[in-house]
Amino acid sequence: MNLHARNVAIQAGVPQDLVPEVVEFMKMRNRINVKSAQYYLKGHEMFKIRQKKSPQYMRELSTFYVEIREDFLPEPLILTILLDCKTKNKTYHLSIEKDPKLSPQEMQLLQYIIGGNKSFDWMTSFMSLLQTISYTRKIPIKKELIMTQYRLKLLTTLANVITTHLMEFNETATSAFVMRLVSYLDEIQAAVTIPTQHEAAHFEIREHIPEVGGNGISLDKVENLVLPYGFSLL
């Protein structure tokens, strides 16, 4: 299986240094195909844009994966997010999908972050409900635009659900982080034509994400992972 997965990754155009990561990602998802490899590669490219000043953060990335396949969708709705959640060299791979392959620790972390895998049924139902709501008269829309609309709806819903669960877990820390995040986003919007300020804001936000795995803060306790992973995801 490893050899086949490596061949698929190479066929998908994955750089040699990323092949092992892509192979593990496809095996974890149990989907060894070019499209799966390309989803990971796209997520990695997005992460690299934000982290280009800090190459040491380019390895050992955690992931957050969403996959929804329903008849009302023109194609599967898939979201792959790569993140450095400041957990030293240990990574966590959470997912919202029909048949997740999570470790017991990852399942507990998912419960804190978004309500566990029951969120898959809820998310699918909610996206189906949104599909029935239209504020304009129905006109033909290209598939690419339809999927972009669904991705925006998915991201907005996830941000809301994740923030709500983090508030329930630690209201004080989450409120402070979200206020800082909103403030930095306002600065970015005001400096839309100044890329260096975008990067500076990103790294300032990252400074407010707690780090675990040192100073006696154990990685074995799931509660210690909730804010680092959750804040990184936001």
SS (H, E, C) the chain: CHHHHHHHHHHCCCCHHHHHHHHHHHHHHCCCCHHHHHHHHHHHHHHHHHCCCCHHHHCCCEEEEEEECCCCCCCCEEEEEEECCCCCCCCCEEEECCCCCCCHHHHHHHHHHHCCCHHHHHHHHHHHHHHCCCCCCCCCCCHHHHHHHHHHHHHHHHHHHHHHHHHHHCHHHHHHHHHHHHHHHHHHHHCCCCHHHHHHHHHHHHHCCCCCCCCCCCCCCHHHCHHHHHHHHC
pLDDT surpasses 60 at 59: no
Predicted confidence at residue 57, as pLDDT, reads 45
Please state the domain extents for the chain: 1-50, 63-233
The rounded percent of the chain whose pLDDT value lies above 70 is 78
Highest mean pLDDT among 102-106, 120-124, 160-164, 186-190: 160-164
pTM over 0.85: no
Tens of pLDDT, residue by residue over 32-52, are 777 777 777 777 666 654 555
Q: Band of the pLDDT at 216, cuts 50, 70, 90? A: low
